[in-house]
Amino acid sequence: MKRFVTSILLALLILPFTANSSEAAVAFLDVDSSHRAYPEISYLAGGNIVNGTGGYFNPNKEVTRAEAATMLGRALNLNGTKRATMFKDVDSGSFASGYIQSSVEKGIISGYQDGTFRPEQPVKRGEMALLINRAFGYGGSDTVSAANALMVKGIAQGISPGNFGYDLKIKRADFSVFLARAVNYKYRINASVEFGGDLQIKADSLNVRTGPSTNFTIVQELPIATKVEAAYRVGDWVFIRSAEGEGLVHGAYLTGTYPSFMNKPLPASTPLNEEMIIIDPGHGGKDPGASGYGIQEKAVVLDTALKVKALLAKTPFSYKLTRETDVYLTLSQRVSLAKSVGGDTFISIHANAFNGSANGTEVYYYGTSATNPYQSDSKRLAAAIQNRLLAAWKLYDRGIDQGDYHVLRENSMPAVLVELGFIDNKKDNEKLASAWWRQEAAEAIYLGILDYYKAKGYNVTYLYNNVN
């Protein structure tokens, strides 16, 4: 009798990890136990990776790009908080906005050259293969290699021998099957994976689960220093094996050496939201700045700065304008504001004047380290913005130069002062007076900021689409 009870307990322990069982009793009116994808759909639903509407899963409905980003994002525990995205057709209130933005930042999915994401566009099987490859770090670089990688691992299969059906739109049931297999190898065709490495549990006690989040069932608890081997990653989670069994644990609680064959981890979360960009429209209020041909510098640079702000609002960057209305600020107040909000980059926008006899674009930086030690980065930022402005406005190149200006000298961050053009020069003034050309200048400054951060090793590639 004792042996029988022990066998029952072992069976219950193993049950959640068998491919024929559901993670939890999540019932959909249109997916019963006889449905071909019932185990996988139930497994994902039990972990809140997929869900339905009004009690229905709609297994034969085509998967949209928004739904694909959401399901992959949930499986990988990406930040799904609704927020502004870089895409003009994805509202911040969209159910998928957070997962779309996070997936883009991780390099899993991208938008189109026209600045759209097309969230309602159906996903094709070939695209699905690419998305899963990127999400799980399998290395497939095109639809064919991506599909082959999934088939080798037993995650996907063709619709017939030699035919993967790359251009066929994938349905929710099939996407769920492939995603469940990627997450938990027990659901794969001819299920098997290689384990290796030399790892130990570094938490006092670590729960091993059936899936990659605390929404999934606990199958065992491992004490500190337990030796384990690893097979693959699911975001920050790792599928491990110990003497007591198998399951998924968060990688933060493992220490030691991972096997060389493991899939690559996703890139670290973008640190761009930790970068505070200060945009400083010069002059304002009682100080109009330079003037020419009926326009004032303070108005031109404020409008340009607000256009830069609109572009930065589509990015993870933090940003702050020293002024957003026609108010007067002293030079000291501008610097103090930049420092008080933890500025990391400072761009002051101006228009030049010299009796109508000079023309062109130039950018200044502070050339000594006596007060502002960021000479090298300031020069790099100045060059990046100057190059972009020259390409956009095609005015005379006055180059980049050292300038002993208060907002540069007294700042404690990389800082530049941009002179868009000469407001008292007829040719330059035509661009300064034009809302269209000011938008071009704003985009050039924005692209220069991206070029600067890219040169410093930040992942900003996906943000270039904002100007298309």
Q: Which residues of 150-174 are buried (b: 16+ CB within 10 A; e: fewer)?
A: beebbbbbeeeeeebebebbbbbbb
Whole-angstrom Cα distance, residue 465 to residue 463?
Answer: 5
DSSP 47-64: TTSS--BTTB--TTSBPB
**Helices (H), strands (E): how many in the chain?**
13, 15
Count CA atoms closer than 13 A to 27's CA, side-chain side.
2
Question: Within 10 Å of residue 190's Cβ, how many Cβ atoms?
Answer: 6
Partnered with residue 295 across adjacent β-strands are: 292
Q: Quick check: 279 and 343 in contact, CB under 8 A? A: no
Q: Quick check: 448 and 387 in contact, CB under 8 A? A: yes
Instruction: Choose among 113, 125, 117: nearest CA to 101.
Output: 117
Strand 205-209 relative to strand 196-201: parallel, antiparallel, unpaired?
unpaired
Q: Quick check: 249 and 212 in contact, CB under 8 A? A: no
**Residue 430 is among the residues annotated as catalytic for this protein:** no
Calculate ∠ Cα 272-274-278, nearest 5°: 90
3-class SS of residue 421:
strand
Could you say which of 419, 430, 440, 443 is catalytic? Answer: 419
Q: Quick check: 448 and 414 in contact, CB under 8 A? A: no
Whole-angstrom Cα distance, residue 452 to residue 67?
Answer: 34
Torsion of CA 231, 235, 236, 240, to 10 degrees: -20
Q: Which amino acid makes up residue 362?
A: E
Q: Which residues of 96-109 are buried (b: 16+ CB within 10 A; e: fewer)?
A: bbbbbbbbbbbebb
The two three-digit tokens of residue 60, written as one number: 């034969």
The two three-digit tokens of residue 107, written as one number: 């390099």
Whole-angstrom Cα distance, residue 304 to residue 300?
Answer: 6
Q: Which residues are catalytic?
A: 419
